[in-house]
Amino acid sequence: MITLHNVSKQFESFEAIKDVSLSIKSGEIYGIIGASGAGKSTLIRMMNYIERPDEGSVVIDGEALDQVKHKRIRHIRQSLAMVFQGYNLVGNKTVYDNVAVPLELSKVPKRDRAERVLESLRFVGLETLKNQYPGQLSGGQKQRVAIARALVNNPSVLLCDEPTSSLDPNTTAEVLDVLKRINERLGVTIVIVSHEMEVIKSLCQRVTVMADGQVYDTVENNPTGVQHMEHSAAGFVERLRSGGDANDS
């Protein structure tokens, strides 16, 4: 459903993404792991065309984004919602109003909004906090509000860029649990970027390891796959775990 064909991206003279190809299936939870600067954020941002590749193409459900009109890209983008490490909530709007923002932007009639906002908040377990402001919430609650906002337009894909990197282990588990339920109950495809091996291992079915703007390896998340990744990446994962730069060798 999401295919990247030989995509490359340069920022001035720096090659952030070098000839990357990968394919994500409908309904799967797909992880992208790598050290800081490996190009993970740039790659996931290409999937909804926030970042456009200089070369190669992005194909969503058979439609090559470089071949369609801007209006169509806006429409396709609505089905690819995004969640960020820093939540990106509006501080002077209530939880309810934050979740309603995408409905306003996509011109959903006012009378239909309340039910959808409340349904989304209920799904992440935060309906009772609807009148609170982001500043009154914990990090885990803020991220769940951001997830509710991402869900409100019924996306088919959730793109998550380091969604738990600012959270402690307990709240991380809460957020991962919500993501798992979204995948299982709503059938939403999830792509998650993380530098944390435990997050990727607990959630994903397949994992791509990135290093230096390239795909290092793509494996199934089972003991054989993980073993292969650890073996073939020659200490890459160990260095990630110990907090070192996996690109150092």
Residues that bind ligand ATP (CB under 6 A): 11, 14, 16, 34, 36-42, 195
Q: Which residue has the tokens 């070098």?
A: 18
Distance CA 82, CA 213 (A): 21
Residues present in the chain in total: 249
Instruction: Report phi then psi at 161, rounded to 5.
Output: -100, 105
Q: How far is the CB of 14 from ligand ATP (least distance, A)?
A: 6
Least distance in Å: CB of 85 to ligand ATP?
Answer: 8
Residue among 34 and 140 whose Cβ is closer to ligand ATP: 34
Q: Which is nearer to ligand ATP, 34 or 102 (CB)?
A: 34
Q: Give the span between the Cα atoms of 165 and 141, in whole angstroms.
A: 14
Nearer to ligand ATP, 137 or 146 (CB): 146
Residue 198, sorted as left (phi over 0), alpha (psi -120 to 50) or beta, turns out to be alpha
The least distance separating ligand ATP from the CB of residue 128, rounded to whole angstroms, comes to 34
Give me the least distance between CB of 51 and ligand ATP, in Å please. 8
43 vs 81, which CB is nearer to ligand ATP? 43
The phi-psi region of residue 212 (left if phi > 0; otherwise alpha if psi is between -120 and 50; otherwise beta) is: left
Closest separation in Å from C-beta 94 to ligand ATP = 30
CB of 55 to ligand ATP, least distance (A): 16
Task: Pick the closer one to ligand ATP by CB: 34 or 155.
Answer: 34
CB closer to ligand ATP out of 27 and 37: 37
